[in-house]
Amino acid sequence: MEDVFDSFIKYLEKLDDKDWNTLVDANWTVKDVVAHLVGWEEDDIKTLEEARKNGKKPWFLDYPDPDYLEFNRKNVERYKNYSPKQLLKKWKHFAKKTEEEIRKIGRENLDKKNWAFDESHYLEHFRQIKKILKE
């Protein structure tokens, strides 16, 4: 069975420039949403590596106040000059590296610690984009 990530990537690969530039909300285009996901994926690698070494929970689980908005803003800005194709290539690369880190820790160990590294974030934005593009 195909996972959410693969389905999402295949869907995005079929979009045209107009779709990528469609506003998803008042501030972000489809491309911006993908850029923020690429940034999260990139950060997951570092976060998981640190967690594996020091046993501390990931920064974004440090409630109540991780600064998600600033983190997302920086990622959208960092990837603004990437083409959709470049963004997807980066995302696939980082996703592979993230999965390697998860294997090193062991998914069962992540689950025991309630460190969520699942596809719910992908699914949320996949549905959001499909809804806005009326598919």
Under CATH, which number does the domain 4-132 receive?
A: 1.20.120.450
Q: Hey, where are the domains in the chain?
A: 4-132
Q: Mind listing the pLDDT tens digit of every residue in the chain (135 residues)? A: 458 899 999 999 999 999 999 999 989 999 999 999 999 899 888 888 887 788 777 777 765 566 788 889 999 999 999 999 999 999 999 999 988 888 887 777 666 565 666 677 888 999 999 999 987
Task: Give the Cα separation of 121 and 75 in Å (integer).
Answer: 16
pTM assigned to the model: 0.86
